[in-house]
Structure 1
Amino acid sequence: MNATIRHVSTSVLNIAYEEHGDPGGQAIMLLHGFPYSPRVFDAVAPPLAQVGYRVIVPYLRGYGATRFLSSTAMRSG
């Protein structure tokens, strides 16, 4: 089962996330930590999606296609 890459914008970030499974299913969000990426969930997300969950795996700041909207935005703090 392939993931769909989607984006949501906030006032500071454009956040990319992978979505697996039924968009109407109960949502589960899987969050990676440093120094990992959503790839850490490649063996976990598809089986959850296959049993009916909507699995959301965001690319946290500094990873993948997630981007700050302004080059002057604070990166920490």
Structure 2
Amino acid sequence: MFPGGISMTELIIILAVILLLFGAGRLPEAGRALGEGIRNFRKALSGETEVKEVKAEDVKTEERKEEKKEEKEKVEA
């Protein structure tokens, strides 16, 4: 018997119903989405925030790309 009073037979029936509802192809996708939801919920409860750090080099590289693109547009015009 599992925690909560669910027997092995009941667990197998529940899993079979889930398999019928979602199908074999969508089951991994549904599990992944459920896992991400739980993970995000836990992060929100703990107060963690995901901050993406941008390196100064990356910013400079992007600025150079934009400048080159603008120069090409001026030359073509």
**For the superposition of Structure 1 and Structure 2, which TM-score range results when normalised by the shorter chain?**
under 0.3
**Which TM-score applies when normalising by structure 2?**
0.23
More strand by share: 1
Greater CA radius of gyration, 1 or 2?
Answer: 2
More helix by share: 2
Structure with more contact order per residue of length (Cα contacts < 8 Å, sep ≥ 6) = 1
